[in-house]
Amino acid sequence: MTKTRTITGWLFDLYPSREGITLWLVDRDGAKYRCHDGFDPWFYMHIPEADEERVGAIVRLFPFRVSLDRTVRREIYTNDEWNVLRVTVHDTLHLKDVVRRLEPHFPHFVFFDSDISPQQLYLYRTGLFPLAFAEYTLDEEGRLISWNLDDDPGALEYQLPPLVTMTLKNVPDFVSPKYRKTHQLEVGYDGRTYALENEDPAEVIASLNRHLTRCDPDIIMTEFGDAVLLPMLTRIAAQEEIPLALNRDPSAGYFTTGETSYFAYGKIVHKDGAFELAGRWHLDTENSFMMGEASLDGVAEIARLTQLPVQHQSRSTIGSALSSMQLSWASRHGYLIPAKKREPEEFKSASTLLLADRGGLIFQPVMGFHEQIAEMDFVSMYPTIMVRHNISPETVNCRCCRNRAVPELGYTICERREGIVPATLRTVVSKRASYKKMKKALKRTGDEQWKLYDRRQNALKWMLVTCFGYLGYKNARFGRIEAHESVNAFSREAILRAKEIAEERGYRFIHAIVDCMWLWKEGATESDYESLAVEVRESVGMDISLEGIYNWILFPSSKMDPRIPTANRYVGWYANNEIKIRGIEVRRRDTPVFIKRLQGEMLQIFGAAATVAELEELIPAALAKAGEAISLLRSGTANPLELVIRRHLTREPEEYTTNTASAGAAKALDEAGVHLAPGEMVEYIIVDLSGKKKPAKALPVPLYESAEGYDIETYTDMALKAVETLLLPFGYDVGKLREVFGCSLQKKKRQAASGSEGQGSLFDS
């Protein structure tokens, strides 16, 4: 009789191996167990039976076993049953190889389920998910033979396993590791930090191994670990011929991918390659959007829903996470998953294009300061529209229904089957709404547990934000532009109807951006706005909430023309003493720290004002605070590290033809042996933007020396523009501010610290 044992705990990690799929389990005491499941992945080909013999002839030449059989699956757009060839690969490590060898012989549109990783296929087909709590039964050979799930990815209350974390980073940390030519390591665990400094690289590796053995971490947390640190350590270990104990599973290798740069939403984005471990998690905080936005709690929340292994999920785009949920749904419901997008845009007349090719409604705000303005937001407007109206690529303009459900456009929406998009979004919309309520209730009582629910809802927020854009993304396999247009049409109708209701009730419409609007009515109270929200909700059919009432709010002018407002830049103080900032200098990532602090201190002063009149009385105090900063800046003694400017590169350094500060800094780094790819951030300090006094307009941080000084006039101009953003409605433009602060361009410039005198050291901070 076969002996078995049952482990009650969590599914921690999984990856393909010779045994099929290797899994790691963690029990309540933190003990780890390695097991395996003999999974054989498969994919489908939609080809005539006559071509089946050709496939058989090809796979018989492979040095590994592949079997073929016929089965029936559904095509998602037509909902028709197709007779397809199932190609089963009896070695998970060769799944990609089989697809790669078959692709040259057949067109891309015959392949289905062929570009999904084995571990994803395993989770989709078993119903398991990362961090699933269950009773797992293993046989005496360590094979997973059964499980009894006591968990659900849609659960609101769940626990994570007890995990041990080690931090690993380069020191010193005043510049990005990408700029460094030498490396010193800092290891942290159990509340202590250890410095690994030795001229002998072999001793550094040996010391790291000792710490890995002593700590036995479940998570190795790094900064730039994917791009720099772990590749460097493995390279040194190979050169010194010393085994490196990064993996908990010594029989497995590392799972790595290359870096990429791609164009998305109007800009070049750079993504470092991945460096994933076996039996441990490597989480790179600098290569994970979700870690930055929602920490480990958010990554775990998304991984449970998407069925992407945690290491992979932490590095994935939100679009990939959303796509994984759709792939899982399609797999469970017997639909074929196209390897590439198959549905082209339908033909449209010119009149239809004029109606359809529009986004959400954005109004121009009433420029300047306002008081007692209420902000009302539709809750998850676009995802709610998709769920409520069943908008999905296969349901819009379906073959079976003849309604004209989409406003303005007259597109039909299927009434006979639920679409893949609303089916997968419903849980996300519901969970986020619940987390927000739980967070609000706990925060009111002072229970610190509200932070956990805030991190979870924040992670889900980004999935909901992305789902709309992904619906119209040209490469989304379940994307379709007509579905994207339909959502916009419903959103326009909703905001216009809300505007009409508000104005009928005597509210003045100040501004609106797609799913939120700003209103004013003399003497209106919070309960008045809540009543308005109920009426809008009943009329439009979507939840709308009162975000808050502002003591004051500023809609500043455009940077290009002070007579024109901008829709997405504003700042205001709520009556509950919280501030909301969008688009101005203190919120922007490319603004130097010095300028951010200047504007932030002014806003703190204005926070004491309950009305615009009180705010105006505080202008002298704000000007005095700004004057202190500008005086320090013009003295030449400001800390240069607080003047660092960060810009994304849009091309390779050698491809720049104009001598901008960013281009010059990138080229200087390239010449020094540090190459930055398009989409990566270059960090520099402007030393002479005119280019008349110094050969370089700007110097990258690693090549900067304190004796270089900084361009006083350029940074002064930045500071003045930040002040102008807040004070222009009161007549303080840059010209007047120069007079106020005594830094007119016509005056003789003060002596800049071109030498060492009066200049702060780069390392002072």
CA distances (Å), origin 520, targets 233, 497, 523, 526, 570: 60, 17, 9, 12, 16
pLDDT digits (tens, 9 = 90+) for 633-681: 999 999 999 999 999 888 888 888 888 899 999 999 988 888 888 888 8
- The fold for domain 639-741 equals Topoisomerase I; Chain A, domain 4 (1.10.132)
CATH number for domain 368-583, candidates 3.30.379.10, 3.90.1600.10, 3.40.50.150, 1.10.10.410:
3.90.1600.10
Q: Quick one: average pLDDT of 303-328?
A: 92
What long-range pairs does 22-31 form, CB within 8 A, spacing at least 24? 22/249, 22/252, 22/278, 23/144, 24/248, 24/249, 24/279, 25/136, 26/161, 26/162, 26/163, 26/218, 27/161, 28/161, 28/162, 29/162, 30/161, 30/162, 30/163, 30/164
CA distances (Å), origin 561, targets 351, 364, 365, 556, 654: 34, 14, 15, 11, 34
CATH number for domain 42-126, candidates 3.30.70, 1.10.10, 2.60.40, 3.30.1600:
3.30.70
Tell me 367's DSSP state: -
Burial readout 193-206 (b: 16 or more C-beta within 10 A, e: otherwise): eeebeeeebeebbb
Altogether, the residues listed in the chain come to a count of 765
Label residue 620 by pLDDT band (50, 70, 90): very high
Among candidate residues 474, 130, 481, 476, the one with its CA nearest the CA of residue 337 = 476
Q: Quick one: average pLDDT of 465-485?
A: 79
Residue 620, helix vs strand vs coil: helix
- What is the rounded CA–CA span in Å between residue 4 and residue 235? 41
Higher-confidence position of 752 and 102: 102
List, as one string, the DSSP characters of 547-610.
EEEEEEEEEPBPSS-TTSB-TT-EEEEETTS-EEEESSGGG-TTS-HHHHHHHHHHHHHHTT-S
Looking up tokens 């619906």, which residue turns up?
471
Among candidate residues 24, 217, 321, the one with its CA nearest the CA of residue 312 = 321
The answer on pLDDT for 263 being more than 60 is no
- Tokens standing for 354? 């004029």
Residue 332, exposed/middle/buried by CB under 10 A (0-12, 13-18, 19+)? exposed
Percent of the chain scored above 90 by pLDDT? Answer: 69
Out of 226-230, 329-333, 466-470, 677-681, the most confident range is 329-333
Residue 523, helix vs strand vs coil: coil
Percent of the chain scored above 70 by pLDDT? Answer: 91
pLDDT digits (tens, 9 = 90+) for 219-240: 999 988 998 899 999 999 999 9
The answer on pLDDT for 746 being more than 50 is no
Q: Give the number of C-alpha atoms closer than 13 A to the C-alpha of residue 339, restricted to the C-beta side.
A: 19
Among candidate residues 147, 148, 196, the one with its CA nearest the CA of residue 170 = 196
Residue 688, helix vs strand vs coil: coil
Contact 160, 300 (CB under 8 A): yes
- What is the rounded CA–CA span in Å between residue 636 and residue 441? 50
- What is the rounded CA–CA span in Å between residue 240 and residue 224? 23
* E strand spans, 28-162: 32-37, 42-45, 66-74, 81-89, 111-112, 133-139, 144-149
- Tokens standing for 624? 């005095």
Mean pLDDT, the chain, as a whole number? 89
Higher-confidence position of 122 and 262: 122
The answer on pLDDT for 350 being more than 80 is no
Out of 50-54, 359-363, 600-604, the most confident range is 600-604
pLDDT digits (tens, 9 = 90+) for 40-70: 999 999 999 889 999 999 999 999 999 999 9
pLDDT score of 761: 28
β-pair partners for 565: 557
Q: What is the largest CA-CA distance in the chain?
A: 96
Q: Quick one: average pLDDT of 458-476?
A: 80
Q: Quick one: average pLDDT of 172-179?
A: 51
pLDDT score of 558: 87
Strands laid side by side in the 368-378 sheet: 508-513, 516-520, 368-378, 544-555, 570-574, 579-582
Burial readout 720-758 (b: 16 or more C-beta within 10 A, e: otherwise): bbbbbbbbbbeebeeeebbebbebeeeeeeeebbeeeee
pLDDT score of 294: 78
Q: Quick one: average pLDDT of 378-389?
A: 92
Characterise 123 by phi-psi region: left (phi > 0), alpha (psi -120 to 50), beta (else). alpha
Higher-confidence position of 351 and 611: 611
pLDDT score of 377: 94
What long-range pairs does 609-617 form, CB within 8 A, spacing at least 24? 609/551, 609/552, 609/573, 610/551, 610/552, 611/371, 611/551, 611/552, 612/369, 612/370, 612/371, 612/552, 615/369, 615/552, 616/730
The answer on pLDDT for 763 being more than 90 is no
Q: Quick one: average pLDDT of 261-287?
A: 79
Provide the whole-model pTM: 0.83
The answer on pLDDT for 696 being more than 80 is yes
pLDDT digits (tens, 9 = 90+) for 423-461: 999 999 999 999 999 998 998 888 899 999 999 999 999
Which residues touch 445 (CB under 8 Å, ≥6 apart)? none
Strand pairing report for 219-222 and 281-284: parallel
The answer on pLDDT for 616 being more than 90 is yes
